[in-house]
Amino acid sequence: MLAQLPQPGNGRRVLDVGCAGGYLAGILASRGYQVTGIERNGGTGPDFPKEVRLIEADLEQGLPTLDGPFDVIICADILEHLRRPDLLLRQLRALLARNGVLVASLPNSGNLYFRLTVLSGRFPQEDKGLFDRTHLRFYTWEGWQALFSGAGFGLQQVLATGIPVGLAYPGHESSLAVRVAERLCYDMARVWRTLFAYQFVVTVMPRNEP
Full domain range(s) for residue 150: 2-163+197-206
| Residue 178 domain-assigned (yes or no) | no
pLDDT of residue 203: 97
Q: What is the mean pLDDT of each run of 10 residues along the chain (210 residues)?
A: 89 96 94 96 90 94 91 96 96 95 97 95 92 95 97 96 83 85 90 94 86
CATH of the domain at 100: 3.40.50.150
Q: How buried is residue 64: exposed, middle or buried, by Cβ count under 10 Å (0-12/13-18/19+)? A: exposed
Q: 119 in helix, strand or coil?
A: helix
| Residue 137 domain-assigned (yes or no) | yes
Residue 4 CB neighbours (<10 A): 15
Counting the structural domains of the chain, the total is 1
The answer, as to whether pTM is greater than 0.85, is yes
pLDDT of residue 165: 85
| Residue 184 domain-assigned (yes or no) | no
pLDDT of residue 209: 62
| Residue 175 domain-assigned (yes or no) | no
| Residue 186 domain-assigned (yes or no) | no
| Residue 185 domain-assigned (yes or no) | no
